[in-house]
Chain A
Amino acid sequence: QKEVEQDPGPLSVPEGAIVSLNCTYSNSAFQYFMWYRQYSRKGPELLMYTYSSGNKEDGRFTAQVDKSSKYISLFIRDSQPSDSATYLCALSGTYKYIFGTGTRLKVLA
C-alpha cells in the first residue's frame, strides 16, 4: 500500500464551480499536511499548510484534515481558469516528507 494516495485526474470543471481535491494516507505518524500547486512546466509552490485536524481557510481555498480517517482535502470555491494546475498533497513528520502524485485540474472559462 502506498503511503499516500491521490486521484491523478484530470478533473475538468466550469468556471465558478466548487472543486474538491483529496488524499488518503496510511501512516498516522504524519503530523503536517500541505497542498502544493504546480503550474505547467514550473516547480511546485506551497499553497496551504495545516498542522491539526480541522479546517483552515485562505481566501477561496480551504484545507481540511481528518486525522482519524487519514484523509485530507482541498476545496476551491468560485474556481477560476487561473486555478488550472496540478495540485499535490504533501505530508510530513519527523524526518519524513512525501508527496502525492498530484491531481491535474482544468477550469474551463
Chain B
Amino acid sequence: NAGVTQTPKFQVLKTGQSMTLQCAQDMNHNSMYWYRQDPGMGLRLIYYSASEGTTDKGEVPNGYNVSRLNKREFSLRLESAAPSQTSVYFCASSESEGYNEQFFGPGTRLTVL
C-alpha cells in the first residue's frame, strides 16, 4: 500500500498563476484533509471532506478550492496564486471524522514568486 500520495513534490509559481495539487489514498478512508504548514504556525486546516461528495471549509480556506473527485482522490486548487500561499501543503486521510488517526502524505513545497 502506498498510503497517501501527493503530486507534485515541488512547485514554483508566479503571482496570479493557477495550479492543482493532487492527493490520493489507497486505505479506503472516508475522510480527507488539506493542511498548510508554515514556520511558527503549525498545521492549519484549509478544507476537508468528511465523506465522498461533501467538502467543508477549515480554518484558512480563502484563495483555495477543493474537489473530492471520488473516495480515493481529493484535489486542492489555487486559482490565482499569491506570495502568501508559499507554504508546505499536506494531504491527510482518516477512517472517519473526529478522533481517528490521520495519515499524511509527503507534502508539496510550493513557492509563489
Which residues of chain A have a CB within 8 Å of any CB of chain B?
Answer: 6, 8, 31-32, 34, 41-46, 49, 88, 90, 92-95, 97, 99-102
Contact = CB atoms under 8 A, between A and B. Distances in A.
Nearest to B3: A43
Contacts of A94: 98
A42 B99 contact: no
Contact of B43 (A31, A32, A99): A99
Contacts of B99: 31-32, 92-93, 97
Given A41-B107, A42-B107, A43-B105, A95 B42 contact: no
Nearest to B33: A97
B104 A100 contact: no
Nearest to A2: B42
A101 B98 contact: no
Given A44-B43, A101-B41, A101-B42, A95 B101 contact: no
Chain B contact patch, size range: 10 to 19
Contacts of A42: 106-107
B76 interface: no
A34 B90 CA distance: 18
Contacts of A99: 42-43
A100 B41 CA distance: 8
B98 A92 contact: yes
A34 B104 CA distance: 15
A8 B40 contact: yes
17 contacts: A6-B42, A34-B101, A43-B4, A43-B104, A44-B102, A44-B104, A45-B104, A46-B101, A88-B43, A90-B102, A92-B99, A94-B98, A95-B98, A99-B42, A101-B40, A101-B41, A102-B42
B97 interface: yes
